[in-house]
Amino acid sequence: MPEQFRPHGISLFTADDGARTLMVVNHPEGDRHTIEIFDLSANDVLTHRRTVEDPLIVSPNDVAAISPNAFYVTNDHDQPGMDGRMMASIFASPITTVVFHDGETSRVVVDELAMANGIATSQDMSKVYVTELLARTLRIYARDAQSNELTPIDQVFLGTGVDNVDVAEDGSLWIGAHPQLATL
């Protein structure tokens, strides 16, 4: 395991050949944030393969693996640490992002979200679901498989502080929620 392993969001990718990769948001210390990538053997043993650290991954909350090396990650704030985070949360400022990492470089693919939180892909990876905690909204994006760009196709106001999102085998969404954001 990486030193100072403090896991947060996770995503499991299963390749066509059955090989499994687990990606985990990690908050190891201070304002440092990483994505840890593990190989998961047939007998369920995790082997740490690599650590991804990038200036665009500033406050990761959740990760959605799309290959053994590539992923989308939500930043729930626009900067590490507490400076400015409280005011951004109080005023539901649309300042957070979704970042795509291709295995080597990262880029912002969605911005101006009010506390991007959970992220998941549809079973066929044609759609990406992002929960926006402070806007109390689920955003649905079409994913371009070649460029990995995300195009908004729908949004659903859920009237509650939406947290993590998972996709069931039948395609239904399971979404954690905080009905009273003040108690969060």
Confirm whether 8 is a catalytic residue.
yes
Q: Which residue of the set 8, 27, 48, 178 is catalytic?
A: 8
Q: 181, 100, 105: which is closest to 137 by C-alpha?
A: 181
Q: Is 9 helix (H, G, I), strand (E, B) or coil?
A: strand
65 CB-near residues (< 8 Å, 6+ apart): 11, 12, 13, 21, 22, 23, 71
Burial class, 89, CB count within 10 angstroms (exposed 0-12 / middle 13-18 / buried 19+): middle
Q: Is 4 helix (H, G, I), strand (E, B) or coil?
A: coil
**Calpha distance 183→169 (Å, rounded):** 32
The residues that are catalytic are 8
